[in-house]
């Protein structure tokens, strides 16, 4: 009998060790969920990871949460099929579209999900949209992942849309074209991806100035800036240093308690109260539009603070690191 007991104990130990190894691998080791989904970015409640993969640019996770699709890059949500994504895309696209003198040629940098492209396609005068993303997997999701294609209405497969797999800075440097509207929708630089700073730099903004039509407009996503307003201010000051007129705006999402900052940059002066939506929008009502350009006290750059991001410094990365 004792022999059977010892065999059972041994088997139990083996199973326990295997179980502990799986837990370590999943939560702390190389297969860790934390490598793919940052704790503060995880959905609230049970979710299912459909797929994890590593590309030369980032770690990607495809997540199902209550029937919605969330796509993560290096731990942060890149895009999703949530109501928030509708709001974000409207704010990102329709403000510069309203400010620009014409809307024939559009450049979107960081448009792998296809949602901003979907919104840009709503303008009948649009003739060509170039959507650039550094990661072919993200663009493939936007083109072929059923849930995302349904959400973006097949925008990345539209005949007016040209998709480019390339670093946005490199693409603009070699492209001879000029655009009426340029949309820069990329995450903030991090220690894991410090090269993103080059898409926020004075040198890059100077290049965009050359590639923008005289009556064109640019929008720049400035992250959830309520907890690091210096980041928002630094982008504003860098754009000004490059020669742009800058009109900051923000979008507070009550459900999440997050306040997203944006910059509208033009080569001519724009008054916020002169902007009118040129297509019907679900979220950007006249009241909401007015509120977005009324900056709360924690966003107002009264003392012209903000560091100039260049190709040679780590101004924005330092601000992000200090915020954590």
The whole-number pLDDT of residue 217 equals: 98
pLDDT tens column, 207-255: 999 999 999 999 999 987 677 899 999 999 999 999 999 999 999 876 6
**3-class DSSP assignment, residue 211:** helix
Average pLDDT, integer, range 258-270: 94
* Identified catalytic residue from 133, 167, 180, 185: 185
Residue 16 pLDDT exceeds 90: no
Judged against a pLDDT cut of 50, whether residue 30 lies above it is answered with no
What does the mean pLDDT of the chain come to?
Answer: 87
Tokens matching residue 216: 């064109």
Q: What's the half-sphere exposure (Cβ side, CA atoms, 13 Å) at 294? A: 6
Give the model's pLDDT for residue 259.
Answer: 87
185 among known catalytic residues = yes
Instruction: Tell me the pairing of strands 179-184 and 212-224.
Output: parallel
pTM for the whole thing?
0.86
pLDDT band at 73 (very low <50, low <70, confident <90, very high): confident
Considering only the C-alpha atoms of the chain, give the largest distance between any 2 of them, rounded to a whole number of Å: 90
DSSP letter for 28, please.
T
Average pLDDT over residues 51-76: 84
- pLDDT at residue 112 is higher than 70: yes
Average pLDDT for residues 8-33, to the nearest whole number? 45
pLDDT at 71 over 90: no
- Give the least confident one: 190-199, 256-265, 266-275, 298-307: 298-307
Confidence of residue 22 (pLDDT cuts 50, 70, 90): very low
Residues 290 and 38: their CA atoms lie apart, in Å, by 34
Rounded CA-CA distance 192/303 in Å is 32
Of 119-123, 131-135, 152-156, 187-191, the poorest mean pLDDT is in 187-191
User: What is the structure's pLDDT at 65?
Assistant: 87
Q: Which residue has the higher pLDDT, 73 or 34?
A: 73
Domains and CATH numbers, the chain: 33-79 (no CATH), 83-323 (3.40.50.150)
């Amino acid at each position: 009998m004792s022999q059977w007991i010892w065999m059972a104990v041994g088997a139990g130990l083996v199973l326990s060790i295997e179980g502990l190894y799986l837990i370590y691998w999943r939560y702390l080791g190389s297969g860790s969920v934390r490598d793919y989904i940052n704790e503060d970015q995880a959905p609230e409640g049970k979710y299912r990871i459909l797929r994890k993969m590593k590309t030369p640019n980032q770690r990607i996770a495809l997540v199902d949460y209550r029937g919605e699709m969330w796509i993560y890059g290096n731990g942060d949500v890149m895009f999703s099929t949530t109501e928030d994504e509708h709001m974000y895309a409207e704010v990102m696209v329709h403000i510069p579209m309203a400010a620009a003198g014409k809307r024939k040629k559009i450049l979107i940098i960081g448009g792998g999900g296809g949602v901003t492209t979907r919104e840009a396609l709503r303008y009948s005068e649009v003739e060509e949209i170039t959507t650039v993303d550094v990661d072919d997997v993200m663009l493939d999701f936007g083109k072929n992942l059923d849930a995302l294609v349904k959400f973006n209405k097949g925008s990345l497969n539209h005949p007016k849309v040209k998709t480019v797999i390339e670093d946005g800075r490199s693409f603009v440097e070699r492209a001879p074209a000029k655009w009426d509207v340029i949309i820069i929708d990329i995450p903030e630089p991090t220690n894991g991806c410090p090269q993103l700073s080059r898409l926020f730099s004075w040198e890059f903004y100077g290049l965009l100035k050359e590639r923008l039509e005289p009556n064109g407009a640019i929008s720049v996503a400035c992250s959830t800036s309520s907890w690091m307003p210096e980041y928002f201010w630094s982008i504003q000051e860098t754009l000004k240093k490059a020669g742009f007129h800058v009109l900051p705006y923000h979008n507070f999402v009550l459900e999440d308690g997050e306040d997203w900052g944006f910059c509208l940059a033009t080569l001519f002066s724009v008054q916020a109260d002169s902007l009118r939506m040129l297509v019907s929008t679900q979220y950007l009502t006249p009241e909401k539009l007015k509120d977005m350009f009324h900056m709360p006290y924690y966003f107002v750059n009264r003392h012209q603070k903000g560091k100039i991001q260049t190709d040679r410094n780590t101004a924005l990365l330092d601000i992000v690191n200090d915020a954590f």
